[in-house]
Every structure is written in structure tokens, then in C-alpha cells.
Amino acid sequence: MDEMFKPSRRSFLRGSAAVAVGSAAGAAAAEGPDPLIADLQDWASYTGVGVDETPYGMPISFESHVVRRNVEWLTASPISSINFTPIHALDGTITPQGCAFERHHSGAIELSKQDYRLMINGLVDKPLVFTYDDIERLPRENHVYFCECAANTGMEWAGAQLNGAQFTHGMIHNMEYTGVPLRTLLSEAGADTSSDKWVYVEGADASSNGRSIPMEKALDDVLVAFKANGEALRMEHGYPVRLVVPGWEGNMWVKWLRRIEVTDMAVESREETSKYTDVYENGMARKWTWVMDAKSVITSPSPQMPIKHGPGQMVISGLAWSGHGQITRVDVSKDGGITWETARLGKQGDTKALTRFYLDTQWDGKPMLLQARAIDDTGYVQPTKGQLRERRGENSVYHNNCIQTWYVDAEGNAENVEVS
Ligand code: MTE
Ligand code: CO
């Protein structure tokens, strides 16, 4: 029997269901697809899945490889750990919550809206405690922003380490947030918002992940967010309420936000002293490195996305972003940075959000050293690894925004390599 006409397991099951229903009604039993209808493909031989079967849709089984992945040896336990967004397999700019990277210091907690409370205290006229419902009564806004962990690409300082854009650059996601500006909550509480003040923000999880934010930023674009991509935040992203600190390192985006204290100095918490700082060669440390500088990565081709066709027309695609503002230009090199071509932006860059770029080009079938270089609206140009090492030495973990290189061989397979 031709492979094409064999009933698949799925259609066989459907066939048996038809038997059951048919017998009950006294009709003739049907056995699988009709072999006489030679042209009918399997998926057209039976009716599909009913609308009552998927109250909340999941990706089709053929896409089941497009998932977050972790790297076991990176951390001692998966509770205080990280997994990575499959950026190699996504397109456009919005990250679905279900595959957006997670970073927890003490695991993701289940906190209901009923149990949720947010306190504002410190240098305020009226200390306040908000319920979830109180927050939803305040005027809200929608904005798309990227969230990048300061440790993204951190393993690559010493040399090319991890073989895939998901692992080298996947500590990033980009969502449309719905939330109340932090300045609204501060004004409700009559906070002292003079420019030398700070807010200290902390979460309800065991780690609390407390961070100090200067007042100027707190009054600017920080959001107390409760929805992402239109739906409630997922547990792992801080349900029911998280802080969104546009353009600044992910660690400040406190999840399960429980307290905002207005202070007259920075708290100098663990997360802003022994962590999330970078030690120079001379032993001094960089501190208050809040803004994520302009960066880009080619997502396809890349080690997890080899070229599957021969020489000829192809699309080189990737992502670019800047914590300072908009991406204005992305250049792509096929020869390790000797010559550059300007890529096409999927759409004009949004401020502090991911920008998709494409280079619609021809492949001559020869090996390539692929690189992308982002430029933002301050005129900043993404540095090479060599330039970054000159400035920062080799003790850093955080804030590695250097140009990434993929070596693509004549078969189209890609590998993470270093070109300084
Ligand atoms: N907030 C709390 N309460 N606890 C945490 O462990 N991790 C921080 C930040 N906020 C963290 C937190 C870090 S380091 C990052 S990079 C981001 O959350 C990650 O957000 P995500 O898990 O939604 O990707
Ligand atoms: Co982080």
C-alpha cells in the first residue's frame, strides 16, 4: 500500500470513533480513509479538532522544539538559575510569554491577586498599601520594551563558549506591557520626588531581589505592570505585578513587586554591590551600570538555524536593541567585519524595544564569517569584542554587548567563533 494512503494513527483513531458513532446509529461501519479517493491527503480525509478541545492553545507539535532551554552546568541548581528564549526560531519582535527567558534567584512563586499587596513607604506623606484591584483603578498605559539580563552573553567574555544564539543572546525578551506609571503611585502617596531621592524596590519572593532606582528614572518611564502581550503576566514573569524599567538591566525589573520605599540614598543591596557590578583589571569595580548599551545578534543563520538550501537567494535576519533609545541602523558583514552592508529594518525601531533586521541577499555557497553591528539614535556603534576587552579587561561577567560572529561553512552549518 502506498505510504500516502495508510491511515495515520490519528486518522485511525478518528476512524474508530466513526465506527462507534456509526454502529450506535445503525449505519455501516467506516474503516479508515476511503482508498478510492487516491488524491485525498490524510488531513483532508477527516474532520479536524473541535473548538472545545483547546480552551487555551499550545503550539502545534511540529514546533515543539521552540522552547526555553537551560544549560545545566551554568548554575548549581535550577531554582536559582536561568533559561533562554529560543530567539533563533522566532521572527518579528514580540516574545510570547510561554518561551520568554526566566531568571529567578529563589524560584518562581505562586502569588494570587487576592493575596497580593504593594506597599509604598519611606519619604512619603501617606504610606499606602495597594491591593491588586486598587492598581487596576489607576490610569494605565501600553508600551513595548525589551528586558535583557545584564548577564546575557556573559559566558562569552573569555572566548566563544555556547553554540547557539539562544544560549549566547537568549536572556532577552520583548513584550507589550500594560501598567500604571510608577510616578502615578508615587504621587498618590505624596512622595518626596526631589532629584536626589531614590526608590528601593523589592519582590515578594524569598530572594526579594531589592534594587535602588534613582528618582529621575522612577519619574520617567518605569511601569508597575500587570499584563504582558495582552494577558496576565505568567507566574514566572512576576504574576500578578512586576516592575518594568525600560532600557535598564533586567535585574531591576522586580517581579512579584511588594514594596517601594522612597529613600534619600541608595540602599547598596547585594544585587547592586557584590552582584551586577564588574571588576576592572586594577581591582576597581564598575557600579550603577544600569543602561543596556546597543547590541545585536544574527538569529538566522546561526548554530541552531543552519542554511538548508544551496547557493542563491537567502535572508539573513536578526535582532537589535538599545537601552538608550531607538535603533537607527544595523550593518551586516559576511567577512568578519572587513566589509559591511546596511540591513533593512523590519519596521522603524521603537525606543528601548527589539528591532528586527533583514539582509535580503545572495549566498555564493562559500564560507562566511557573519556579524551584525547595531547603531542607536545617540550615534553609539556596537563595539567589537577586542574594543570591549580593551576598556573592560577580562574580569567582567555583565554587560557584554560586543559584536557576535558565526562561522558558516560551505554546507550551511554555523558555529560560534571569536573574531576580535
Ligand atoms: N525579581 C524578583 N523578585 N526575583 C528575581 O529573582 N530576577 C531578576 C529580575 N527580577 C528576579 C526579579 C533578573 S536577574 C532578571 S534578568 C529579570 O527579573 C528576569 O525577568 P524574567 O524572569 O521575566 O525573564
Ligand atoms: Co538578570
Which residue is listed with cell 547595531?
Answer: 374
> What is the tens place of the pLDDT at every residue in 12-64?
333 333 333 333 333 445 566 566 656 788 888 889 999 999 999 999 999 99
Mutational test site, ligand 1, from 77, 149, 235, max ligand atoms within 8 Å of CB = 149
Coil/strand/helix, residue 250: helix
pTM of the model: 0.91
For 146, phi and psi rounded to 5 degrees?
Answer: -90, 150
Domain parsing of the chain, residue ranges: 3-44, 77-286, 295-417
Residue 233: which of 102, 59, 128 has the closest Cα? 102
Q: Which residues of the chain have pLDDT under 70?
A: 1-38
pLDDT for 318: 98
User: Per residue in 333-356, pLDDT tens?
Assistant: 999 999 999 999 999 989 999 999
Q: How far is the CA of 371 from the centre of ligand 2 (A)?
A: 25
Q: Which of 74, 175, 209, 275 to mutate to test the pocket of ligand 1 (most atoms within 8 A of CB)?
A: 209
Q: What is the pLDDT of residue 356?
A: 98
The residues near 156 (Cβ < 8 Å, ≥ 6 apart) are 162, 168, 385, 400, 402, 404, 416
Ligand 2: centre distance to CA 139 (Å): 29
Rounded Cα distance between 212 and 265, Å, is 8
pLDDT of residue 38: 64
Closest Cα to atom 8 of ligand 1: 251
Kindly identify the ligand whose nearest atom is closest to the C-alpha of 80.
Answer: 1
Residue 211's pLDDT is 98
Judge whether 118 and 105 are in contact, CB under 8 Å. no
Listed in sequence order, the residues at least 6 apart from 391 whose beta carbon sits closer than 8 Å to its beta carbon are 383
CA atoms within 13 A of residue 177's CA, in its CB half-sphere: 29
Ligand approaching nearest to the C-alpha of 146: 1
User: 315 forms bridges with which residues in the sheet?
Assistant: 360
Cα distances (Å, whole numbers) of residue 111 to 47, 205, 230, 269, 321: 41, 9, 20, 24, 32
Closest CA to 416 of 278, 268, 239, 298: 298
C-beta 356 within 6 A of ligand 1: no
For the segment(s) 77-286, the CATH number from 3.40.50.10790, 3.30.1330.60, 3.90.700.10, 3.90.420.10 is 3.90.420.10
Ligand nearest to the CA of 104: 1
> Is omega for the bond preceding 55 within 30 degrees of 0, making it cis?
no
What's phi and psi for 38, nearest 5 deg?
-65, -30
Please tell me the predicted confidence (pLDDT) of residue 61. 96
How high is the pLDDT of residue 132? 98
Residue 22 has a pLDDT of 34
- The whole-number pLDDT of residue 110 equals 98
Instruction: State whether residue 401 is helix, strand or coil.
Output: coil
Residue 209 Cβ contacting ligand 1 at under 6 Å: yes
Taking Cα atoms as reference points, which of 35, 45, 41 lies closest to residue 14?
Answer: 45
**Residue 64 amino acid letter:** S
82, 50 contact by CB (below 8 A)? no
The architecture (CATH level 2) of 295-417 comes to: Sandwich (2.60)
